[in-house]
Structure 1
């Protein structure tokens, strides 16, 4: 076969699944499954690399299982260790084999939270000395830089600037992830942690406004007035709901939604089987939690479908950037 003319367009080779690496940064166990569990399960099943970094063990979380209330922070203070087991079971359900704690297990503690009168989370009145929300930003980001340079992800997923609903640890995870992504790309910054790595695409997890309104309407039509209590299908919605015009990507992982539900079941201290996640799934179907949405905040938008959205977080990335 004759060689292609010198002026012919040369396309870089498409990346194989094993060359595609996703890094997710979350604050507490269960956050990852609620937000991106179906995406994680689908990508893991496809042979893509999925790395989850969890910043705290969720020591201050509410305990929904009566017989485990003794683990609470104001009692035995052993909830974090229990949730360590829960997230291990959840990752097994999702097929994710690379899970890490920022700085190691217990390095940062759950900051806790309380509800503001406006319906969003704010900092608790009493915060532990090594609470994640109090962490030095550069120190925490540097711990993540080491992971980034080891894993070399092309895609990073974390929270928006409000942490979805205002939890101080979610906001801190956003800050740490975004700053670490910048520092990791600087060759002269801590070269002892590995070669510089520039993450090609950064996304913030999101929830589609139109999907949320449709789901709420289905719940209310089915007579469910308690799931997502206080939310009106036709009224104002919380900050974590994103206007459809601001969305960039919708990963349709409905074939893996049961793995996401299994992972949620692995968190009995935090998620109840009769809670809103399962109620919405029962009334709307797999699309309720099997299609997960994202906002692109760094990188070029890849090819989009008729809905104007990417269908893959790696869209537009060719070859192995490493």
Structure 2
């Protein structure tokens, strides 16, 4: 069925730290917005060079070996964005800022690390926002979702650039604990484990959500599947028959049928309302 193009004329920019964040955190909303006619751009701040990889196939690409993971992830990101039906660009160009790694790591002391971008990162994102004139910016909450320094810096840069350029609304992606934990299967797939109570990053309440219809849900699954160095897609399982996945830590998670969002800056979200509701074209 042809989707309603009720969002034609709207422009959306999502600001993410690494390739794969756009698909895991916001893939459903991005695909839904694009299918409904909005022009959606994903700004990725680093190449994810410091990421871990799954299995032996790509093991020698990591930073401590060939240090080629970032270049490989450019291709993964391109395939994921194609699955979502959205555009993409890198902040400052591909490779301008480097993955900072976790807090206190040697990678965070690299002058090119994104956490060290200073006002230059804000300037570069403001240039993009001035050119795009988005009605909506999507990014992380102040904790970056789960505390990664690059996520936190993406939050800071997005807020500063959005305020400078007068973006009407900025929202934070979030995961609702009850849905995330309630959809888990009773047993983990072979080789994986179930999360401990409270182990997954999640919140207990949000302002609104995006329902993922079948086509949008499949688009998100395929976008996540494109990031094969980072994500393993499993089978449908659990009480709700949700698709399972795991990162390199092999902790079982599920792709929920809703993506949740919270008000960050500008016009607040209406409880249960659309991400662009109340914003004039």
TM over 0.5: yes
Alpha-carbon distance, 1:133 to partner: 1.1
- Which residue number corresponds to residue 202 of structure 2? 241
- Which residue number corresponds to residue 107 of structure 1? 96
- Which residue number corresponds to residue 44 of structure 2? 54
2:41 corresponds to 1:73: no
Relative to the length of structure 1, the TM-score reads 0.76
| Largest Rg, 1 or 2 | 1
Alpha-carbon distance, 1:315 to partner: 1.1
- Which residue number corresponds to residue 146 of structure 2? 165
1:315 to 248, 267, 277: 277
- Which residue number corresponds to residue 38 of structure 1? 28
The DSSP-based 3-state class of the residue aligned with 1:241 is coil
Query: Unaligned stretches of 5+ in structure 1?
Result: 1-14, 114-121, 185-197
2:82 corresponds to 1:92: yes
In 2, Cα distance between equivalents of 1:281 and 1:146: 45
Q: Structure 1 or 2: larger helix share?
A: 1
The DSSP-based 3-state class of the residue aligned with 1:93 is helix
- Which residue number corresponds to residue 267 of structure 1? 227
- Which residue number corresponds to residue 256 of structure 2? 289
The DSSP-based 3-state class of the residue aligned with 1:203 is strand
Stretch moving more, 46-55 or 249-258: 249-258
- Which residue number corresponds to residue 200 of structure 1? 168
Contact preservation (8 Å) 1:202, 1:297: yes
Contact preservation (8 Å) 1:27, 1:54: yes
Alpha-carbon distance, 1:67 to partner: 2.0
In 1, Cα distance between equivalents of 2:23 and 2:261: 15
Change (3 A) 1:266 1:126: closer
In 1, Cα distance between equivalents of 2:123 and 2:193: 37
- Which residue number corresponds to residue 144 of structure 1? 125
Change (3 A) 1:285 1:94: same
Alpha-carbon distance, 1:251 to partner: 0.7
Contact preservation (8 Å) 1:21, 1:49: yes
Relative to the length of structure 2, the TM-score reads 0.86
The DSSP-based 3-state class of the residue aligned with 1:39 is helix
Q: Structure 1 or 2: larger strand share?
A: 2
Alpha-carbon distance, 1:280 to partner: 6.1
Per-residue CA distance 1:260-289 (angstroms, 9 max, x = gap): 111111011000124xxx566895437943
Change (3 A) 1:288 1:69: closer
In 1, Cα distance between equivalents of 2:262 and 2:241: 23
Instruction: Give aligned pairs, total.
Output: 264
Query: Unaligned stretches of 5+ in structure 2?
Result: 244-253
Change (3 A) 1:126 1:316: closer
Per-residue CA distance 1:204-229 (angstroms, 9 max, x = gap): 1001122123124xx2xx32287674
Per-residue CA distance 1:57-98 (angstroms, 9 max, x = gap): 0011111141222211111111111000000011111111x2
The DSSP-based 3-state class of the residue aligned with 2:19 is coil
2:54 to 59, 64, 70: 64
In 2, Cα distance between equivalents of 1:265 and 1:297: 29
1:129 to 108, 111, 134: 111
Change (3 A) 1:87 1:126: closer
Change (3 A) 1:33 1:89: same
- Which residue number corresponds to residue 223 of structure 1? 187
